[in-house]
Amino acid sequence: MTPLPSPCISQCKLDAEQNCIGCRRSLDEIRLWSKASEAEKKQIWQRLLALPMLEKRKQCQRCSTEFSCGSGGKQGCWCMDFPPVLSVTTATGDCYCPTCLAAVIAERELAQIK
């Protein structure tokens, strides 16, 4: 059985409630992670996965329009409603707005037909 990975995403900073703004674990969960049993780690992961997605303001790398990331959609974010034909981030490391993502997907599908 593969050990559960740490939820850490290397964006470590505590909010007012002493939870990490990156992985959203409490200070105690972070401190105890390396000594936690697999069952305890699973409980932490279940708690984290049950939390609502955090909404972020982003700027489209293609058209520079501001948009919300992490809001709406069937699976937490509107981008999850699109076909999974693109990686989440691109070479510049950011996302597309809904309009540009739809256009990029259509362009790639058209290129595959040719």
> What is the CA 90 to chain-centroid distance, rounded?
14
Cβ neighbourhood burial of 44 (10 Å; 0-12, 13-18, 19+): buried
pTM: predicted TM-score of the whole model, two decimal places = 0.56
Mean pLDDT, residues 80-94: 60
Q: In this predicted model, what pLDDT tens digit does every residue of 48-59 receive, in sequence order?
A: 988 887 778 888
Query: pLDDT band at 73, cuts 50/70/90?
Result: low
Q: What is the pLDDT of residue 93?
A: 54
